[in-house]
Amino acid sequence: MDIHRKIVTAVVLAVSVAVSMPAFASQSDYILGELQRDDWEVRLSNKAVLKKINNPLSTEVLIELIRNRGLNWRIQMRGIRLLGEIHTPRVEDVLLQFFSDLFFHHGCPAVRSSLAIALGNFAGPKVVDALIGGLDDPEVIVREASIVSLGKVGDTRAVPYLIAQLKDRRFLIRASAIHSLGLLKDATAVSPLETIAQGDGEPLLRKEALSVLSTIR
């Protein structure tokens, strides 16, 4: 355990001692209620909601909710997306752990893709490596989410891996790779994108590749 994790553990223990169980339960009920709302995606961008959960206690409450094996997978998925809006080292570590832990997500593509989406809100070598690993996932939605997040993270180390996705037979994968390469704006993507623009069988992808090329050249 490195020094950062020791500090985090100490802080969490201190919070657990300092805060009464009724407060923990009350915050748990609040967060669960938010996740069960029909407009939960809109709530992800609600600054008042995010402010209310952006504290150590709420973060731990949300993590424990997500860990609960009895939680409906749809609610778990929403919780992961909400957790991704809390931009702290603690949350980054937890998301990376969940993403790599088969016993946590049990291979559920919806949960794993939600983790990939949430990781797109962070940066750094560990996040990039994890998302690059997600490109080998057997499930298309996980691969697509990893591609999208690599574009958001903005690390050009992902470029050769995204270029490789341009050869995939699936429209969604190729389209997402083109978009992410456009965000990264790396010159090494020009030639592969020109190949798409000139010869892909999908007119929409040819058009998107041309649009992206205009931003890179």
Cα–Cα distance for residue pair 175/172, rounded to 1 Å = 5
pLDDT at 57: 86
pLDDT for 217 equals 81
User: According to the model, what pLDDT value does residue 24 have?
Assistant: 67
pLDDT of residue 166: 97
pLDDT at position 13, please?
Answer: 47
191: nearest Cα among 215, 209, 168: 209
Residue 3: pLDDT band with limits 50, 70, 90: low
Does residue 185 surpass a pLDDT of 90? yes
Average pLDDT across the chain, whole number: 88
Among positive and negative, which fits the CA dihedral 142, 143, 148, 152?
A: positive
> Which one of 1.20.1600.10, 3.40.47.10, 1.25.10.10, 1.20.120.1200 gives the CATH number of domain 123-217?
1.25.10.10
pLDDT single digits (tens) 11-54: 454 555 455 556 667 888 888 888 888 888 887 778 888 888 88
What is the pLDDT, as a whole number, of residue 22? 61
183-198 average pLDDT score: 96
| Domain boundary assignment for the chain | 1-101, 123-217
Does the pLDDT at position 132 exceed 90? Answer: yes
pLDDT of residue 51: 84
Inform me whether the pLDDT recorded for 9 exceeds 80: no
pLDDT single digits (tens) 142-160: 999 999 999 999 999 999 9
More confident residue, 70 or 120: 120
Per residue, what are the HEC states of the chain?
A: CCHHHHHHHHHHHHHHHHCCHHHHHHHHHHHHHHHCCCCHHHHCCCHHHHHHHCCHHHHHHHHHHHHCCCCCHHHHHHHHHHHCCCCCHHHHHHHHHHHHCHHHHCCCHHHHHHHHHHHCCCCCHHHHHHHHHHCCCCCHHHHHHHHHHHHHHCCHHHHHHHHHHCCCCCHHHHHHHHHHHHHHCCHHHHHHHHHHHHHCCCHHHHHHHHHHHHHHC
Q: Which of 90, 212, 217 is nearest to 162 (CA)?
A: 212
Residues 6+ positions from 135 with CB-CB distance below 8 Å? 143, 146, 147, 161, 164, 165
Least confident of 5-9, 30-34, 99-103, 213-217: 5-9
